Structure 1
Amino acid sequence: MTTVYDIPPDVLIAKVAGELKQLDSIKAPVWAEFAKTGVHKQMPPKEEDWWYTRAASVMRRVYIDGPVGVQRLRSFYGGKKNRGTKPNQFKRGSGSVTRKLLQQLESAGYIKNTPEGRVISAEGRKFMDSVANSAKAEVVEQIPGLSKY
């Protein structure tokens, strides 16, 4: 069975984002089109459906790193802030975006909250593995010599 670990992240995240876009429980809030994804960014994302891409990425991170909390995910989605003539400094990503995405994924049943942190649920693992399995055909076409696996 193909799992999340067997598929390149960019291919998997794009496929999962497409699947998440079809769900009713995951919708971008009204403020999402104006919000930056962190204090280190100068502008909001230009993509219209960046919310679903970030949701797919968060879901993959929880699958791989879980149990994980909002602070750890903020560190993962952070970056260097340009401070002009002063040296750049690392800043964490937006906590509100991360928190809202985790809450929406919990309401969809793909993530569950435990005392240690958020982990992927059985339904979420099944969803991610099925998307990875369907993405395997695309990966095999893109990378020659991989068909024997």
Structure 2
Amino acid sequence: MPNVRDVDAAAFINAYAQHLKRSGKIEVPTWVDIVKTGAYKEQAPYDPDWYYVRAAALARHIYLRKAVGIGALKKLHGGASNRGFRPSHHADASGSVQRKVVQGLEQIGVLEKDPKGGRRISQDGQRDLDRIAVACLESMREEEDEEEEDEDEEDDE
């Protein structure tokens, strides 16, 4: 049975973000259109659906590990801080954004708190993510089949 590990990360994250947006279960805060995702950023994200993409990325990241805390997620989505003439250094992302996304995923039953600390994927969440991964693999196979058919038709001409 294929799972999230077998699917390309970008393809899975886009597919799961679309699933979250279509389902409408995850509650998007009112501040998503104006918030910066880190102190090192200059502007808010351009993508209007960035919240769903971040939720999908965090769900996948936590799926691949046993338990993850907010501090680790801050490091994961951090980036280079522009320090002028001085060399750039890593800066962590906003903890509040990560926390709100994780709390939203907890409310819909994808994540749960780990007794040792941090968050882990729940049984329902694992089933949900695996189902999306299977659908993603099937769509990728269909695209490959269509490309092969197109190549065969071009060779015949």
Check if 1:69 corresponds to 2:69.
yes
Higher helix proportion: 2
Q: Which residue number in structure 2 is paired with residue 17 of structure 1?
A: 17
Contact 1:35 1:44 survives alignment (8 Å): yes
Evaluate the alpha carbon distance shift between residue 139 and residue 24 of structure 1 in structure 2; reply closer, same or farther with a 3 A threshold.
closer
Q: TM-score, normalised by structure 1?
A: 0.91
In the other structure, the counterpart of 2:105 is: 105
In percent, how many aligned pairs have the same letter?
A: 35
Amino acid at match of 1:26: I
- 1:94-144, Cα deviation, whole Å (9 max, x unpaired): 101100011010010110002222100000000000000000023224568
Q: Check conservation: 1:37, 1:45, Cα contact below 8 A.
A: yes
Q: Which residue of 1 aligns with 2:93?
A: 93
Q: Conserved in 2, the CA contact under 8 Å of 1:36 and 1:44?
A: yes
Unpaired segments ≥5 residues, structure 2:
146-157
8 Å CA contact 1:7, 1:139 repeated in 2: no
Equivalence for 1:28: 28
Question: Superposed, which structure 2 residues align to 1:1-149 within 5 Å?
Answer: 1-116=1-116, 117-141=118-142
CA distance in 2, matches of 1:24, 1:123: 17
Give the letter aligned to residue 123 of structure 1.
Answer: D
The more displaced of 126-135 and 61-70 is 61-70
After superposition, the C-alpha distances for 1:7-44 in whole angstroms (9 at most, x for unaligned) are: 00010001100111133431321111111111121111
Instruction: Tell me, in whole angstroms, the C-alpha distance in 2 between the residues paired with 1:8 and 1:23.
Output: 22
Q: Match of 1:78, as an amino acid?
A: G
Structure 1 runs of 4+ with >2 Å offset = 22-25, 138-144
Distance 1:83 1:143, change over 3 A: farther
Distance (whole Å) between structure 1 residues aligned to residue 87 and residue 96 of structure 2: 27
| Cα displacement (A) at 1:75 | 0.4
What is the aligned-residue RMSD (CA, Å)? Answer: 1.4
